[in-house]
Amino acid sequence: MTDTQVLAALAALEAHRVDVGHRRIRDLFVGDPGRANRLQAEMDGLVLDYSKHRVTDATLAHLLGLARAADLEGKRDALFSAAHYNNTEGRAAMHMGLRDFSGEPIMIDGADMRPAIEAERDKMLAFAQAVRTGAVRGSTGERITDVVNIGIGGSDLGPAMAVRALSPFAGEGPRAHFVSNVDGADIADTLKGLDLKRTLFIISSKTFTTQETMTNAQSARARVAAELGEAAVADHFAAVSTKLDLVAKFGIRADRVFGFWDWVGGRYSLWSSIGLVLAVAIGRDHFLAFLRGGHDMDRHFAQTPLQDNLPVLMGLLGIWYRNAWDYSAHAVIAYDQRLARFAAYLQQLDMESNGKCVTRDGEPVQMATAPVIWGEPGTNGQHAFFQMLHQGTSVVPVDFMVAARAIDADAHHHDLLVANCFAQSEALMRGRTREEVEALLSAQGLSDFEIARLAPHKVFPGDRPSSTLIYQQLDPRTLGRLVALYEHKVFVQAAIWNINPFDQWGVELGKELCSGLAPVVRDRAASLAALEPATAALIETRRRLQG
C-alpha cells in the first residue's frame, strides 16, 4: 500500500461519482428488481440494508478497491495480532481481548493476558453480584438500592448508554445513576432524593486524577462523611482505577478496586471493569452475554470477506459520502427509545477516534476525515430535525436502527414504530417531485393559483441516502454486537484515512489551559496581566456579572 495507490483509488472513486451522480436512487430499483434483497448483509439475525444508497455494483467495486489499496485487511490483521497499532502512544489496541471467548492465548507484548483478564473480570462480576444480592451493604447494614457511577468520557458515555439500553434486564438490581459534568448541578441533582445509607459510589478514573471526576468524587465523599461519618466512606465507595495508592488515600478498600490495562482506550473500555456499573445493573449472566455479542462481531469482522462484512460496508459507505460527495455530517436515528444515548456514545467513539488531521506518520491528511455524528431517537426526531433531513440544503446520510421484536412494548406501539422507521427511509430516498405534488393538490380540488403557490413548498428532493440496521430484539448480546459493529466501522475508516483512531491528543490542550486558569478564576483578586487578552476579557466580564 502506498499513498499514491490510495489517492489514485480515491480519484477513481470521485470520477465515478460524476458518472453515477445524475442517477436517482429510486430509479436504481427500477433497473434492478433484485436490488432490495441483494444489497443486504447479515450476521446471525443482524441485517444491514444498504439498498437506499446512491451506489451501484461499480460503486462497490471502487470502494472495495480503495479498501485494498489502503491495505485494510493487513491493518485489520495487525490490530487483532496486538501490534502497536496505537503508534503515538506505543501500545496495542486490544480491547477485543476483553470479550474474547475463543479460549486461545491473548498475547500482548509477549505475555498471555487471558488469565489476568479473566481473573479481573471474575473479581469485578463477583462484587457486582454481591451488590445485587445484598451481600455488600452500606455502613448501617442497609441494602444498596442505588449505585452512582462518577466518571467522564469513556468512563461515563458507554456505561450510561448500555445501562439505559438494557434496563429490561435489571431484575431486582439497584438503580444506576451517572455523574460526569464538573458543573455542580450534575451531582446535586443526582443525589437529590437518594438515601446515602443505601447508595454505593463507583469512581471510574484510570489515573484517579481526572479533574472533573475527582472533583465530583470529593464532593460525594464529603457528603457521605458528613452524613454517615468518616468511617462510612469505605462501605460506600468502589473504584475502577490502576492507581492503588491514590485510591487508598481516598479511603477505598483494596478489595473494592478494579483495574484494566493501558491497551484499553477509554472510549473502548465498556468491556472492562469500567462496565462495573453495568454489571451491577444487569447481573453477571447478562453482562457476559453483552461481551459475547462483541466477540461475535469481532469474529465476523476478522473473518468475513470484505464485500459481505458489516463494519466494512458501513465504513466504506461513510467514505463514499465523506470523501467523494463531501457530506460533513452523519445521523444515527435509533427507533428504539432505550438507545436514546447511543448517538451520544457514538459521538465520542467516532469523532474522538477519527477527528484527526495528520496521518499515522505525522503527515497532513490529504482527504477529509470524521464527519459530525449526531442523532436522537425516532420518532421524536421526526418532529424536530427531520424537516432539515428531508428539505434542507445539506444532505445528511442516516443510519436507521430498529428491532424486529419489542421488549416491554405492546404490538400496536411497536408496529407503528417500525412503520415510521421504514416510511422515513423511503421518504428520504424517494422524495416527491413537482409533478407528483401538483397531481396531489389537484386531486384535493385546489385551484391552479393555489397549486402554483403551494407546490414549491411541498416538493421533496429525495436522494437522501440511508442504511437500515434491523436486529431481532435489543438484548445484551445484540447490544454487544451493535457496539462492536460501530467500533470496527470507525477502524475501517481510520484505515482508509491512514490515521490512528486510538489516541486523543486533541483533548489535551484545553485541559492544560484549564489547569492554569482555574486558580485565576477562583481568586477574584488574581492578576490577569499574563493571560491572553480575549480570555482576560471573559474573566473580567464574569467578575462584573458576579457582582
- Residue 227 buriedness (CB in 10 A; 0-12 / 13-18 / 19+): exposed
Instruction: Please provide the average confidence, as pLDDT, over all residues in the chain.
Output: 96
Same domain, 268 and 382: no
Are 149 and 187 within 8 A, CB to CB? Answer: no
Burial of 357 (0-12, 13-18, 19+ CB in 10 A): exposed
3 compared with 231, residue with greater pLDDT: 231
352, 376, 438, 487: which one is catalytic? 352
Question: Are 512 and 368 found together in one domain?
Answer: no
- Kindly write down the DSSP assignment for every residue of 35-50, as one continuous string: HHHHTEEEETTEEEE-
Quick check: 531 pLDDT over 60? yes
Picking from 289, 324, 346, the residue at the C-terminal end of a domain is: 289
Burial label for 11, CB within 10 Å (0-12, 13-18, 19+), is exposed
* Dihedral angle computed from the Cα positions of residues 116, 118, 120 and 122, in that order, rounded to the nearest 10 degrees: -150
How does strand 237-240 pair with strand 199-204? parallel
Kindly state whether residues 253 and 356 are assigned to the same domain: no
Question: Which residue, of 236, 266, 289, is where some domain finishes?
Answer: 289
Instruction: Work out the pLDDT band at 31, boundaries 50, 70, 90.
Output: confident
pLDDT digits (tens, 9 = 90+) for 326-336: 999 999 999 99
CA atoms within 13 A on the CB side of 316: 27
Mean pLDDT calculated for residue range 127-143? 97
Q: Domain range for residue 530?
A: 506-546
Taking the C-alpha atoms of residue 383 and residue 340, their distance in angstroms, rounded to an integer, is 16
Q: Is 539 exposed, middle or buried (0-12, 13-18, 19+ CB in 10 A)?
A: middle
**In this predicted structure, what is the pLDDT of residue 405?**
96
| Domain shared by 19 and 121, yes or no | no
Report pLDDT for 202. 98
Name the catalytic one among 22, 192, 383, 412.
383
| pLDDT beyond 80 at 115 | yes
Asked if the structure places residue 89 within a domain, the reply is no
Are 222 and 105 members of one domain? Answer: yes
Q: For the domain that residue 393 is a member of, what is the CATH number? A: 3.40.50.10490
* Mean pLDDT value of segment 180-204: 97
Residue 245 has pLDDT above 80, yes or no: yes
- Say what the pLDDT of residue 195 is: 98
d(CA 132, CA 284): 10
Closest CA to 18 of 62, 68, 67, 50: 62
408, pLDDT greater than 90: no
474's grid cell: 435489543
d(CA 176, CA 277): 7
Residue 3 is predicted with a pLDDT of 82
| Residue 1 clears pLDDT 70, i.e. is over it | no
Number of C-alpha atoms within 13 angstroms, CB side, residue 535? 14
For the chain, the domain total comes to 3
Tell me: pLDDT of 184 over 60. Answer: yes
Residue 315 domain flag: yes
Instruction: Give the pLDDT confidence of 213-231 residue by residue, as tens digits.
Output: 999 999 999 999 999 999 9
Of the candidates 272, 146, 266, 276, the one whose C-alpha atom is nearest the C-alpha of residue 210 is 266
Does residue 442 fall inside a structural domain? no
Confirm whether 294 is domain-assigned: no
CA distance 457 to 15: 33
**Do residues 8 and 120 both lie within one domain?**
no
- Say yes or no to pLDDT of 353 above 60: yes
Residue 84 domain flag: no
Q: In this predicted model, what pLDDT tens digit does every residue of 449-473 receive, in sequence order?
A: 999 999 999 999 999 999 999 999 9
Q: What is the structure's pLDDT at 157? A: 97
In a domain, 478, yes or no: yes
> Does 284 share its domain with 392?
no
Taking residues 156-183, report their average pLDDT: 97
- Establish whether 352 is a catalytic residue: yes
Q: How confident is the model at residue 311 (pLDDT cuts 50, 70, 90)?
A: very high
For residues 151 and 201, the answer to whether their CB atoms sit within 8 Å is no
Catalytic residue among 249, 508, 511, 532: 511
Share of the chain above pLDDT 90, in %: 96
Asked if residue 298 is part of any domain, the answer here is no
Q: Is the pLDDT of residue 403 over 90?
A: yes
pLDDT of residue 411: 87
Q: What mean pLDDT do residues 387-391 have? A: 98
| 241, 264, 316, 375, 496 from 489: Cα distances, Å | 29, 18, 8, 17, 11
Q: Is residue 85 part of a domain?
A: no
The interaxial angle of helices 310-319 and 284-303, nearest 10 deg, is: 70
- Local confidence band at 125 (pLDDT 50, 70, 90 cut-offs): very high
Residues 194 and 269 in one domain: yes
**Which residues have CB under 8 Å from 494's CB, separation 6+?**
353, 354, 500, 501
Q: What is the DSSP letter of 238?
A: E
CB atoms within 10 A of CB 224: 24
Residue 383 annotated among the catalytic residues of the structure: yes
Per-residue confidence (pLDDT) for residue 410, from 0 to 100: 85
pLDDT of residue 197: 98
Question: Is 75 an active-site residue?
Answer: no
Q: Is 252 exposed, middle or buried (0-12, 13-18, 19+ CB in 10 A)?
A: buried
DSSP 450-488: HHHHHHHHH-B-----EEEEEES---HHHHHHHHHHHHH
pLDDT at 55: 97
Residues 315 and 273 placed together within one structural domain of the fold:
no
Nearest-angstrom CA–CA distance, 46 and 470: 6
User: Does one domain contain both 213 and 114?
Assistant: yes
Mean pLDDT of the region 311-316: 98
Q: Judge if 161 and 43 occupy the same domain.
A: no
pTM: 0.96
pLDDT digits (tens, 9 = 90+) for 80-90: 999 999 999 99
The predicted model gives 493-512 an average pLDDT of 95
Same structural domain for residues 252 and 120? Answer: yes
pLDDT band at 2 (very low <50, low <70, confident <90, very high): low
Indicate the helix (H) or strand (E) that contains 202.
strand 199-204
pLDDT score of 294 more than 80: yes
